[in-house]
């Protein structure tokens, strides 16, 4: 008689007598003879067992489970033991006295003092990276608990609370933990797992070469060790040996095609190689195996952002943050995508969250600085980018942001030096190339500006900022037709690029096509009614068509937005001056022109254009003595033949008036 009587899941059938242990079977695992007669499980008879044998099978599984727990426990114990070695080493290294320092030679003394000076940096680096690994381990365990439905048997919520308590203790009671671990024995250096863990620690502190030495020892014992191959792939990638890294990752995947970390490392390396779409396919493989792998979700978000898919990038970053709200890389990636969508204030908020967790996270510092720069808060941008450069003085993106911010506040020489420094680190950094071109254009070195803009365009022929700088430089060289062609190219890429509309309008104005110029200025003003350059070009075109009053109204509107804009003040003065004849004199507008030029000269006292134009007005008003003074001031700056002639005319008039 059957020892255990269990009902068959099929209603109306007999008591179940058999159990199926086939891994791929989809039918009911427990069944009766009637089910068997109906064809269930006939394809795998060897996997059918009597229910009475099930207890024996459970005992075997229980024993295997104990072995699994024991093996994982040994791994954790090895981490504990290596931690003890690590802590003892830290204490020995940083408990220094003057007496012990005096026993060292000069080179050793310098090395010790160098590390003492950098202790805060070392401390923060170790804490951040160990906390990062701790978070990943917690996430991995939580994922396995959910996947295996262990919470139904072991009160998952209680365990999670205990983990949080342990985490808090680790953050606040390091001395007690160190005392406990100091009592442990050193690890067996020849044991594979110990070597792997040592390699992991070396990797965490950025010592990739020594980490590779440790994993190579493992691979000399076991050439197919997946963890070692994966770790080596990661270290090679961090050292810039991308092709070798791919080879090691592929070796790991040939031994275990579903190894999550190896798939992740390969995706990361493909990203370094610029193969973002291919990298995303590998990330999707990871997520099909481990849907809550935060690093992979974050990496996908980052690559989508690089590919310009900013909205989906934000969705992926938010998915990662729903699993791990303090994941700095995901916070930073979300900030970057918001910035690229021109949501600068939101971008700053998310960058601030990342910085509050890790005050030395360079990408977040950069994202905040760049967003501030785009909001025209250049001084604030310089403060935040300087924080990034204190951490890494050669960080190319930070150098670029500082250079661009200095350009915006007209500190051209400093900006130029920083652009050069960035390009010395990465000669193909397109934003630095473009910024250098912008600086040269601002310095009116138009030919050189075009050369550097072309270098950027060689890397990316659709780089709008470089195209725009080239178009502006062509305008400066009076190559209006070429400038218009470049503006048209930009508008084919971005139909709402206001600055290109202005370039086209200005080019058309110089071709005396004033009505068409006004049309393009109006297109720009339709997008932004307060756009200064568009108002200025429209005013110039109206003035050249003889609509002086309309032109003056536009200039006054622009000056109400930007009262100290020298170009607008100059234009206003010229508009007054250009209205020649009795009508002008009767209106007394030369005096108004003089007031405008005086206002401009208060801002920029040595501007030759304002000096000579004040001279013109004074000459028209027969105030020859003062006119001579202003022409003389202008000529000292630029020996212009027309101004010299005007000065001589005034001197002649003055002589005649004295004779009379």
| Tens digits of residue pLDDT in 286-329 | 999 888 889 999 999 999 999 999 999 999 999 999 988 989 99
Cα separation, 344 vs 349, in Å, equals: 9
Judgement on whether residues 308 and 218 belong to the same structural domain of the protein: yes
Judgement on whether residues 171 and 267 belong to the same structural domain of the protein: yes
Q: Which of 325, 353, 381 is the last residue of a domain?
A: 353
Query: How does residue 177 score in pLDDT terms, banded at 50, 70 and 90?
Result: very low
Judgement on whether residues 137 and 195 belong to the same structural domain of the protein: yes
Judgement on whether residues 214 and 328 belong to the same structural domain of the protein: yes
Percent over 90 (pLDDT), the chain: 43
Judgement on whether residues 330 and 255 belong to the same structural domain of the protein: yes
Residue 107 lies in a domain: no
- Return the higher-pLDDT residue of 62 and 489: 489
Query: How many residues are present in the chain?
Result: 660
Residue 483 lies in a domain: no
Judgement on whether residues 198 and 315 belong to the same structural domain of the protein: yes
CA atoms within 13 Å, Cβ hemisphere of 468:
18
Residue 627 lies in a domain: yes
Cα separation, 426 vs 3, in Å, equals: 77
Q: Which two tokens mark 104?
A: 């060292």
pLDDT in tens, 81-139: 777 777 777 777 666 666 666 677 777 777 767 777 777 777 777 887 887 777 777 77
pLDDT in tens, 372-403: 999 999 999 999 999 999 999 999 999 999 99
Judgement on whether residues 83 and 131 belong to the same structural domain of the protein: no
Judgement on whether residues 75 and 133 belong to the same structural domain of the protein: no
Judgement on whether residues 143 and 276 belong to the same structural domain of the protein: yes
**pLDDT reported for residue 574:** 67
Residue 135 lies in a domain: yes
Q: How many separate domains does the chain show?
A: 3
pLDDT in tens, 458-502: 999 999 999 999 999 999 999 999 999 999 999 999 999 999 999
Cα separation, 251 vs 273, in Å, equals: 19
Distance, first Cα to last Cα, the chain: 146
Judgement on whether residues 12 and 131 belong to the same structural domain of the protein: no
pLDDT in tens, 198-240: 777 778 777 899 889 989 988 988 898 888 999 999 999 999 9
With the CA atoms of 395, 398, 404 and 410 taken in that order, what torsion angle do they form, in degrees rounded to the nearest 10? -90
Q: Please say if the pLDDT value at position 435 is more than 60.
A: yes
* Helical H segments across 50-155, by residue range: 54-94, 98-102, 106-117, 119-147, 151-154
Residue 405 lies in a domain: no
Cβ-based neighbours of 372, under 8 Å, separated by 6 or more: 344, 348, 378, 380, 381, 384
- Return the higher-pLDDT residue of 526 and 88: 526
Is the Cβ–Cβ distance between 307 and 277 less than 8 Å? yes
| The Cα angle at residue 650 between residues 645 and 655, in degrees rounded to 5 | 125
Q: Which of 353, 370, 401 is the last residue of a domain?
A: 353
Q: Which of 66, 88, 110 is the last residue of a domain?
A: 88
Residue 397 lies in a domain: no
Judgement on whether residues 80 and 141 belong to the same structural domain of the protein: no
**CA 537 to chain CA centroid, nearest Å:** 36
The CATH number linked to 653 is: 1.25.40.10
Q: Strands 48-50 and 15-16: what pairing?
A: unpaired
User: Among all chains, which residue has been given the structure tokens 């930009």?
Assistant: 490
Q: What are phi and psi of 458, to 5 degrees?
A: -65, -35
Residue 451 lies in a domain: no
Judgement on whether residues 194 and 265 belong to the same structural domain of the protein: yes
Domain residues for 626?
575-660
| Burial class of residue 35, CB neighbours in 10 A (0-12, 13-18, 19+) | buried
Residue 312 lies in a domain: yes
């Amino acid at each position: 008689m059957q020892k255990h009587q269990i009902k068959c899941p099929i209603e109306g059938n007999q008591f179940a007598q058999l159990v199926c242990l086939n891994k791929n079977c989809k039918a009911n695992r427990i069944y009766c003879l009637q089910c068997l007669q109906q064809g269930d499980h006939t394809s795998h008879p060897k996997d059918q067992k009597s229910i009475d044998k099930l207890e024996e099978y459970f005992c075997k599984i229980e024993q295997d489970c104990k072995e699994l727990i024991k093996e994982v426990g040994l791994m954790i114990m090895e981490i504990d033991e290596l931690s003890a070695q690590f802590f003892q080493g830290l204490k020995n290294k940083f408990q220094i006295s003057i007496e012990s320092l005096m026993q060292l030679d000069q080179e050793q003394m310098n090395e010790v003092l160098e590390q003492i000076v950098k202790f805060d940096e070392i401390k923060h680096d170790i804490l951040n990276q160990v906390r990062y690994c701790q978070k990943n381990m917690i996430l991995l365990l939580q994922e396995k608990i959910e996947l295996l439905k262990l919470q139904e048997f072991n009160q998952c919520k209680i365990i999670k609370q205990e983990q949080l308590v342990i985490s808090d203790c680790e953050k606040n009671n390091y001395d007690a933990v160190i005392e406990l671990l100091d009592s442990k024995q050193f690890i067996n250096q020849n044991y594979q797992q110990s070597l792997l863990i040592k390699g992991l620690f070396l990797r965490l502190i950025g010592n990739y070469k020594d980490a590779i030495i440790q994993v190579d020892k493992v691979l000399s014992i076991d050439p197919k060790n997946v963890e070692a191959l994966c770790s080596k792939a990661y270290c090679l990638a961090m050292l810039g040996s991308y092709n070798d890294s791919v080879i090691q990752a592929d070796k790991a995947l040939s031994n275990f095609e579903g190894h999550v970390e190896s798939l992740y490392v390969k995706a990361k390396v493909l990203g370094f190689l610029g193969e973002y779409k291919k990298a995303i396919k590998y990330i999707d493989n990871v997520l099909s195996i481990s849907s809550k792998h935060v690093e992979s979700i974050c990496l996908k978000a980052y690559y989508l952002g690089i590919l310009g898919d900013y909205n989906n990038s934000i969705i992926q970053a938010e998915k990662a943050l729903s699993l791990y709200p303090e994941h700095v890389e995901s916070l930073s990636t979300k900030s970057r995508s918001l910035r690229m969508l021109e949501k600068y204030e939101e971008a700053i908020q998310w960058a601030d969250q990342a910085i509050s967790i890790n005050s030395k996270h360079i990408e977040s510092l950069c994202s905040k600085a760049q967003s501030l720069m785009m909001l025209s808060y250049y001084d604030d941008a310089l403060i935040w980018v300087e924080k990034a450069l204190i951490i890494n003085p050669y960080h190319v993106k930070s150098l670029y942001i500082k250079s661009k911010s200095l350009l915006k506040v007209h500190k051209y020489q400093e900006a130029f030096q920083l652009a050069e420094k960035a390009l010395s680190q990465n000669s193909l950094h397109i934003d630095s190339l473009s910024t250098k071109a912008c600086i040269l254009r601002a310095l009116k070195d138009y030919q050189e500006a075009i050369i550097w803009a072309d270098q950027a365009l060689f890397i990316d022929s659709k780089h709008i900022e470089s195209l725009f700088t080239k178009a502006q430089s062509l305008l400066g060289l009076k190559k209006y037709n070429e400038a218009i062609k470049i503006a048209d190219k930009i508008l084919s890429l971005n139909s709402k690029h206001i600055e290109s509309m202005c370039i086209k309008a200005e080019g058309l104005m110089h071709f005396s096509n004033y009505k068409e110029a006004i049309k393009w200025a109006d297109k720009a003003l339709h997008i932004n009614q307060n756009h200064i350059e568009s108002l200025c070009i429209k005013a110039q075109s109206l003035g050249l068509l003889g609509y002086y009053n309309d032109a003056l109204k536009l200039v006054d509107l622009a000056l109400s937005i930007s009262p100290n804009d020298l170009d607008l003040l100059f234009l206003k003065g010229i508009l007054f001056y250009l209205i020649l004849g009795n009508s002008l004199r009767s209106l007394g507008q030369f005096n108004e022109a003089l007031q405008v030029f005086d206002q401009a000269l208060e801002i920029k006292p040595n501007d030759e254009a304002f000096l000579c134009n004040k001279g013109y007005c004074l000459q028209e008003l027969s105030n020859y003595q003062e006119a001579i003074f202003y022409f003389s001031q202008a000529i000292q700056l630029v020996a212009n033949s027309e101004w010299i002639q005007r000065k001589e005319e005034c001197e002649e008039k003055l002589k005649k008036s004295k004779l009379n």
